[in-house]
Amino acid sequence: MNDFWQFAGNFWWLVFPLGAGVAAVGRSWERAAKTRHKRRLEVIHAKAELTSAKAAARHNPVARASEPKAITRPQAVPTQLEQLFKKHDDTTARWLDYELDVAKLIAFPAMSDGRQPLTAGFLRAKKVADNLRPSSTSVKINATDLAEYRASVTDYEVAFDLAERDARRIRDSTFTAAERKRLDTAKQLMTVAVDQAATPAERHVAYKRVRDELDGLIALSDDAVEILEKKVALQLEPRRTPPPETA
């Protein structure tokens, strides 16, 4: 026992290289274990993929995969034009729903204000689509012109959506307090102007005041004025006089 301690005392420095060697062996064994584990996982994964492939092959034979698929032919030009005309007309109808309705223009004045960027963009898109629109669905048109018209209709539709959304968002916020008061007055007078329960004189006075309040605030088209005047000019239904009682 004394010999061991004497040896250890004389050769204590051997502890460091021996310790390093033991640590290196440990790390090498750990790496080998990880490698073996990784390979086992790869084998398991490969077997699972092979099993899935076999199952898919049983349910979906190669012969079935090679079956020819139906070829979808492009629609005829007249049919495409009919669809584009409908989108074009639908967007125009949505615009006219504002343009010809004075009450809506009072509620959403930006829809008639070309100074608003989105409204101006919509009006430009409308002009482009109108100019590119073929005269009829039977007209001869090449692929380039058809694609250009299709793109213009899409731009027109999108531009209107943006302008409408913005007009409903800002409403009359771009006007001063005094101008908003005039718009509110015009809105109230519009109710009287088209109210069939009011007398013709009351409707006429209300109509004139509506025009005065909107002057300089909202530009009304001639068609909108004509439609409004027709509504104002509606006569009250004559009261039915009960027949005289017979004795």
Are 167 and 185 members of one domain? Answer: no
Residue 62: predicted pLDDT: 46
- Last residue of one domain, picked from the residues 174, 193, 211: 174
Residue 56: predicted pLDDT: 53
Domain membership flag for residue 200: yes
Q: By three-state DSSP, how is residue 186 classified?
A: helix
Are 154 and 183 members of one domain? Answer: no
Q: What is the pLDDT of residues 2-41, one digit of tens each?
A: 565 565 555 555 555 555 554 554 566 566 656 665 555 5
Mean pLDDT value across residues 216-228: 94
Domain membership flag for residue 70: no
Residue 166: predicted pLDDT: 96
Are 169 and 180 members of one domain? Answer: no
Domain membership flag for residue 161: yes
Mean pLDDT value across residues 142-154: 96
Measure the N-to-C terminal CA separation of the chain; round to a whole number of Å: 152
Q: What is the pLDDT of residues 162-217, one digit of tens each?
A: 999 999 999 999 999 999 999 999 999 999 999 988 898 999 999 999 999 999 99
Are 150 and 93 members of one domain? Answer: yes
**Do residues 218 and 119 make contact, with C-beta atoms less than 8 angstroms apart?**
no
Mean pLDDT value across residues 155-162: 97
Are 179 and 137 members of one domain? Answer: no
Domain membership flag for residue 26: no
Are 132 and 191 members of one domain? Answer: no
Are 192 and 115 members of one domain? Answer: no
**Do residues 227 and 103 make contact, with C-beta atoms less than 8 angstroms apart?**
no
Confidence of residue 65 (pLDDT cuts 50, 70, 90): very low
Higher per-residue confidence, 31 vs 155? 155
Residue 233: predicted pLDDT: 86
Number of folded domains that form the chain = 2
Are 80 and 163 members of one domain? Answer: yes
- Last residue of one domain, picked from the residues 157, 174, 191: 174
Domain membership flag for residue 123: yes
Q: What is the pLDDT of residues 95-115, one digit of tens each?
A: 999 999 999 999 999 999 999
Residue 27: predicted pLDDT: 64
Q: What DSSP designation does 178 have?
A: H
Q: Name the residue type at position 157.
A: E
Domain membership flag for residue 228: yes
The pLDDT of residue 238 is above 50: no
Token representation of residue 35 = 């490698």
Residue 9: predicted pLDDT: 58
Domain membership flag for residue 181: yes
Domain ranges, residue 121: 75-174
Domain membership flag for residue 185: yes
> Rg for the chain (alpha carbons), in Å?
42
Confidence of residue 55 (pLDDT cuts 50, 70, 90): low
Are 164 and 230 members of one domain? Answer: no
- Last residue of one domain, picked from the residues 174, 191, 218: 174
Are 135 and 211 members of one domain? Answer: no
Are 141 and 200 members of one domain? Answer: no
Confidence of residue 76 (pLDDT cuts 50, 70, 90): confident
